Structure 1
Amino acid sequence: MRLGLRAAALAGFSIMLASSGSGRAANERVHGCMSPAQAREVLIVQKFVAPFRALGEAAAGQGGEAVGLQLCLWGDIFVYDVTVLKRDGRVSHALIDARSGVVATLPRAGK
């Protein structure tokens, strides 16, 4: 029964993203990030790498400390958007593929 609720949460998030772009061209991809509650439900259903692994990958790649993480959907690819505080005090973001745990290579919006 619980699995059905989780699948419904994922479907509901997908519908919410799709309906939010009603004025978009049919071939344009939908992008959006999840609330912590939505992300927990999706992480249980999907086979993603652990969020702590994504934090470590981003911190090592950006040369700083990972201070935040959000699960996002970029077209049909789930990514972790990791906020990194660099050693020089600047803040940057790293996108980590949620399935593989490596830095994501994503198409630009509208392409």
Structure 2
Amino acid sequence: MGADRLGLHGAGVDDVGPRLHRADRGGPARRPADRGVAARLRAFTDGYGLDERQRAELPDALGRRARAMHGFLRTNAPVQPWSRIWREDGPYWLATADYLDAHEDAWRTALD
């Protein structure tokens, strides 16, 4: 099944993460992994045709990549437009990284 058919054309790994509204970005890591998130992750990897090695590496990479985005925004916060993005989205990226790390086992199970 292709990525377009799954509605994933142009989707990034961000689209697999927790669906959070700005007001709800404070603590997703404390929540259990949503089966829907795991299903979207599986659909993402199926749609893009990830092989067994890529699927095995993905769960570890998810939190690391979100944490890297948080670090990038923090480092570049003194410069516009990054200061605005840091202020508005920095907490989101940290919460997303925490969520992804906290549920790495669920992502591995979804991809087995």
**TM-score normalised according to structure 1 size:** 0.28
> Which structure has more strand as a fraction of its residues?
1
> Which structure has more helix as a fraction of its residues?
2
Q: Which has the higher contact order (CA 8 A, sep 6+)?
A: 2
